[in-house]
Chain A
Amino acid sequence: MKREDQFIRVYKEKWDELNNAISRIEKEGLHKLSNDELKQYLNLTKSVSHHLALAKSNHYSDDLVKFLNSLIVRANNNLYIVKKSGKQIVIDYVTKGFPDGVRKYKKDILLSTAIFMLALVLGYILVLVDEGYATFFLPEAILHRTDWEMDVSGWEEKQFVLLSSIVTVNNIGVSIKAFALGIFGGVITAYILFMNGGMLGALTSLVYVNSGNMVNYAAHILPHGIIELTAIMISGGAGIMIGRHLLIPGQLKRKDAVIKGSKEAAYLLPGIFLLLIIAGLIEGFITPFRIHAMFKLVFAGITALMLVLYFGVKRK
């Protein structure tokens, strides 16, 4: 046991130093360290890692190995978490990471769009055939509605904040579900997309049958709808991506494939939230605003153009 004691005496100082450094980082955070101190910390962690390996291979006492082990565990917790500054990550993500991700997984997003569109057309045709089918997608109360002209919004100006927050929270909830429930092979995600598409189709059809004033209707849904639907399509694509990796793992093990798919899908979520928050603000504050329908349609056109530029143009 002499060798072990010698070992402890020789390196005790280093362990103490690392211990102090860790305690300091845990209290004050890594960014308080100067460059040299950080380098020192890295070196210390490395050398103590080697002491651990040494202690293990020499069969030193259990206590010593445990002590070194927990020291390294704590050191690693601070070490492998270091990231670039938070602000730069956010800027990079918004300007590059998110649109790049959307382009990269456009197949899944197109598939989710296809499901949505299919349901939309189906809902539209079904309701044209018989208005009663609308209850499949919409609450029954809507059939008793009499005013389909929609030339003014039912919302008063003082309610705009509430409207905006309701739709934003609700939409974000839907997008999270569409993403997470993709784990069931994408089936539930597809169902969510289908129901939402059918709802929009049935509603459009009802408006068409009952009033025919499609300009007012478009002014009611398009200014926020274009961004909102884009975001929902992307979240559907994210859910489908998880489901696809689960069902068709390709060359990876199924487990690894799902993990890979989920990570790629999760990467898109913050961007989706951002789009939904923008859409919610528009839906709350611009869509119900009592201005001429034409202005709203022009605005909707601008949002579409922005989206095309955002996702379509590659940035370096």
Chain B
Amino acid sequence: MNKITIVTPDNIEVEYTLASLAIRAAAAGVDMIIQMVVFGLIAMIGMMLMDFERIFSADFNQMDYIIISVLLVSYGLITYGYYVLSDIFMKGQTLGKRIYNIRIIKENGEGISAVHAIIREFLKVTVDGFGIGIVLIFINAKYKRIGDMLASTIVVCEEKGEQRIETLLSGENNYNLEDEDLQLVRDYYNRKDLLNRHDRQLFEDKVLKYLWQKYGIKMEEYNKESFIQSIVK
């Protein structure tokens, strides 16, 4: 995980996690599928409205021309406009980015504006097509495409803070552990590095199972670590 520290306008240092290349590629993939599906749908509706016998005999009427124009304009709009418009209206996200919880922000931590979206995304459809963007993204320390460099933007992960609040706030004595149990956990915590990984896992599970049963604590799998830490504090 690549972290980056940004000083906000309030003069507070905030840490962001840069979105990894894999996540960005996945988000881009989702966006591409969305683009294709949307255009596919429009094209299908258009084709259903057209009469192919007439088309093949090159006898177009007004309606056919309108349908073809709509297809053409929507194709242009989807290729050139999809990213820019969603960046602007979804505050630096596209649908793909939203699914993977990543967002484009300026290097100073502010949200991006239309100008940034234009630079970023138009360089994507033109310059990045040559493969330059892909090369640069690997070289650059902050995973910047050429569009990111020109617009001075970065792509960061949006963390969901809600999950952690519970473990954090359940604090030391909320579990009302008896002194000897507390001592047990502390001993384990202080000496756990002496055990090898397998034994440690085994022992940890035993201790936790005992504690959870005794005090009726409901704990999910993922925050064993924080649970122990919250007791040890």
Interface residues in chain A, defined as those with a beta carbon under 8 Å from any beta carbon in chain B:
1, 4-5, 8-9, 12, 15-16, 19, 23, 45-46, 49-50, 52-53, 56, 61, 63-64, 66-67, 69-74, 76-77, 80-81, 83, 158-162, 164-166, 168-169, 172-173, 176-177, 179-181, 183, 242, 255, 258-259, 262-263, 266-267, 269-270
Q: Is the CB of B15 within 8 A of A69?
A: yes
Which of B12, B114, B123, B161 is within 8 Å of A180, CB to CB? B123
CB <8 Å contact, A166 and B146: no
Which of B10, B80, B161 has the largest number of chain A CB atoms within 10 A?
B161
**B233 adjacent to A1 (CB under 8 Å):** yes
CB neighbours of A16 from chain B (8 A):
165
Inter-chain contact A63/B164, CB cutoff 8 Å: yes
Please determine whether A63 and B168 come into contact, CB atoms closer than 8 angstroms.
Answer: yes
Q: Give the docked Cα–Cα distance between A77 and B110 (Å).
A: 7
Contacts A76-B8, A80-B109; A19 near B73 (Cβ below 8 A): no
User: Are the CB atoms of A176 and B159 closer together than 8 Å?
Assistant: no
CA distance A71 to B12 in the complex (A): 13
- Given A74-B161, A161-B65, A263-B119, 17 more A-B residue pairs with CB atoms under 8 Å apart are A52-B12, A53-B12, A69-B14, A70-B164, A74-B158, A77-B105, A80-B109, A81-B110, A158-B62, A165-B69, A169-B72, A176-B125, A177-B126, A242-B150, A259-B151, A266-B115, A266-B122
- Residue on A with the closest CB to B75? A169
Residue of B nearest to A2 (CB): B172
B15: nearest chain-A partner, CB-CB: A69
Residues of A within 8 A of B72 (CB): 162, 165-166, 169
> Across the two chains, which residue of chain B brings its CB closest to A181?
B126
B169 interface residue (CB < 8 Å to A): yes
Q: Is the CB of A70 within 8 A of B159?
A: yes
B182 to nearest A CB, angstroms?
13
Give the Cβ gap from B160 to chain A, nearest Cβ, in Å.
7
* Interchain nearest-CB distance for B66 vs A (Å): 5
Among the listed A8, A46, A177, A259, which residue makes an inter-chain contact with B171, where contact means beta carbons less than 8 Å apart? A8
Given A76-B109, A80-B111, A166-B72, A61-B127 contact (CB < 8 Å): no
Question: In angstroms, how far is the closest chain B Cβ from the Cβ of A162?
Answer: 4
Q: Return A268 CB to nearest CB of chain B, in Å.
A: 10
Q: Identify 19 residue pairs between A and B in the complex whose beta-carbon atoms are under 8 Å apart, listed by A's number.
A: A16-B165, A53-B12, A63-B168, A67-B161, A69-B15, A74-B159, A81-B110, A161-B65, A162-B65, A165-B72, A165-B73, A173-B80, A180-B126, A259-B150, A262-B151, A263-B115, A263-B119, A267-B115, A270-B118
Report the bound CA distance from A295 to B61 in whole Å: 28
Knowing A5-B233, A161-B65, the reply to whether A12 touches B80 (Cβ < 8 A) is no
Given A15-B165, A19-B162, A263-B115, the answer on whether A81 and B127 have CB atoms closer than 8 Å is no
The answer to whether B82 has its CB under 8 Å from any CB of chain A is no
B119-A266 in contact (CB<8A): yes
With a cutoff of 8 Å between Cβ atoms, the chain B residues found around residue A161 in the complex are 62, 65-66, 69
Question: A73 contacts which of B14, B66, B115, B149 (Cβ < 8 Å)?
Answer: B14
Nearest CB on A from B40, distance (A): 19
CB–CB B68/A162 < 8 A: yes
Q: Report the minimal beta-carbon distance from A29 to chain B, rounded to whole angstroms.
A: 10
Contact for B9 among A80, A159, A165, A177, CB less than 8 A: A80
| A181: B residues at CB distance < 8 A | 126-127
Given contacts A16-B165, A19-B162, A180 and B127 within 8 Å (CB-CB) = yes
Closest 8 A-B residue pairs measured CB to CB?
Answer: A81-B111, A70-B159, A169-B76, A80-B110, A165-B69, A180-B126, A70-B161, A262-B150
* B16 in contact (CB, < 8 A): yes
Which residues of B sit under 8 angstroms from A177, Cβ to Cβ? 126
For A74, the chain B residues whose CB sits under 8 A away are 158-159, 161
